[in-house]
A and B are shown apart, each in its own frame.
Chain A
């Protein structure tokens, strides 16, 4: 829906989507069409016009890529389920501002579940 809105007016900033890669591992790939690696173009801004951050990415993934009905294995109460690690370009997201981290072109975001057995 926002794609149609952002395509037309040339006044909006040049970049309307941000190319990033997203990886799932530790069992999470099961929820995302059994694919570990995903290349995506995510909207550069959320519905309120703010720059897209990790919090937005998670919502975006839930509405576009999460095909499995067991969404609570990925998101609980609208936040990443505790026990899932998020790495932003290989760095713990706790070092990068967690959900508030604003996406940059070329970023790699890795979601790893620690919840599965060993």
Chain B
């Protein structure tokens, strides 16, 4: 078989077939276009401002390593003027995190970025190994996910940084869209599709510049640029709901590679149908800060791309679920009534629905406050981390004596 030539430069041998459009590209053109597309995502959504200090949530895995590499490249090439820092979380899982943290330390040298590591032990007094010792493997991802979300924010705060970028890719977003669709959780579905989560109301904003990048291309980018990354599975990771959604996405990709971006786009379109808080709750609450729920509650299932949101048996998780269900039940009615209203008033123009919610917050009735115990931003009196910690600390004496 004669080698296929690159569709862009027409001189080099094509080595990559792009999942989104089947374009056949050589290594150099692929690397260029991958970077250009991330640049486009960044500029079209005004992700950064000049001089901004940005922390890259770095695990040592492929996604965050590629993110760090691409951001360094683009920052220099296009003069973003960003001050980039690597921020890593040490969950305290022996034989898993130790090795990946070594990778992050090498990345810090390779990319000449300062590195900050914050440990669960210093933040919460518990390592994940100790948590698992106490509660068992079932449901531990809930703890890890809640702890990590706060840990990244707290680490950023320690560094005086207000923006954390994470390596979530298109496959991750598609997976989350599917999961929320399968759970009937339109509200969270809406939030999960935003490129920026957390807004002026929250202290630390989060964004995912690789939101439109295929996992396949991320791996190929890392391979062809010979990036140093670490891959292993969390030793406590269960193959739960997220795992099934993941397999489904990968199988769909095999049959129809564009499916992944199509799911992301469908998610974005659906999120426009979800009523915002202004239309669903009190009309005069403009001044009340509404919980920027993403910063508090999203990604509760843990490590984004890996761990399932486990339906473990803990009371805390159950309680929370019940409270959420109640809240969402009301929203369901709101969705229906809003749609009905739309239909009644503007029958002829069904497309006339709110456009592009961008980084704006989704429908939620929770009001933002601070945890009474740790002071961290929370929509409840006691934040999730403190609730979980309370349960853990109650059990601690039994184990240590």
Contacts and interface: CB of A to CB of B under 8 A. Distances in A.
Contacts of A95: 4, 14-15, 17, 24
A58 to B, nearest CB: 15
Given A92-B16, A95-B17, A118 B246 contact: no
Interface in B1-20: 1, 3-4, 13-17
A116 B61 contact: yes
Interface residues of B, number: 43
Contacts of B232: 27, 30, 116
Interface in A20-57: 25-27, 30
B234 A117 contact: yes
Q: Which of A92, A110, A112, A114 has the most CB of B within 10 A?
A: A114
A26 B24 contact: no
Interface stretch (B177-185, B248-256, B383-391, B392-400): B248-256
A82 interface: yes
B24 A118 contact: no
A106 interface: no
Interface in A50-93: 81-83, 85, 87, 90-92
B63 to A, nearest CB: 3
A74 to B, nearest CB: 14
A97 B4 CA distance: 12
A30 to B, nearest CB: 8
B268 interface: no
A118 B167 CA distance: 7
A97 B1 contact: yes
Interface in B195-234: 215-216, 218-220, 223-224, 229, 231-234
A112 B215 contact: no
Given A92-B16, A95-B15, A117 B253 contact: no
Interface in B21-40: 24, 27
A116 B306 contact: yes
Nearest to A110: B223
Given A26-B219, A92-B15, A97-B1, A82 B253 contact: yes
A117 B61 contact: yes
* Across the A-B interface, the 10 shortest Cβ-Cβ residue pairs: A118-B63, A118-B61, A117-B306, A83-B250, A82-B250, A27-B231, A118-B62, A116-B231, A82-B254, A91-B15
Interface of B: 1, 3-4, 13-17, 24, 27, 59, 61-66, 167, 169, 171, 215-216, 218-220, 223-224, 229, 231-234, 246-247, 250-251, 253-254, 303-307
21 contacts: A26-B62, A81-B250, A82-B251, A83-B253, A91-B15, A95-B14, A95-B24, A96-B1, A97-B1, A110-B223, A113-B231, A114-B62, A114-B250, A115-B250, A117-B59, A117-B61, A117-B63, A117-B303, A118-B63, A118-B64, A118-B218
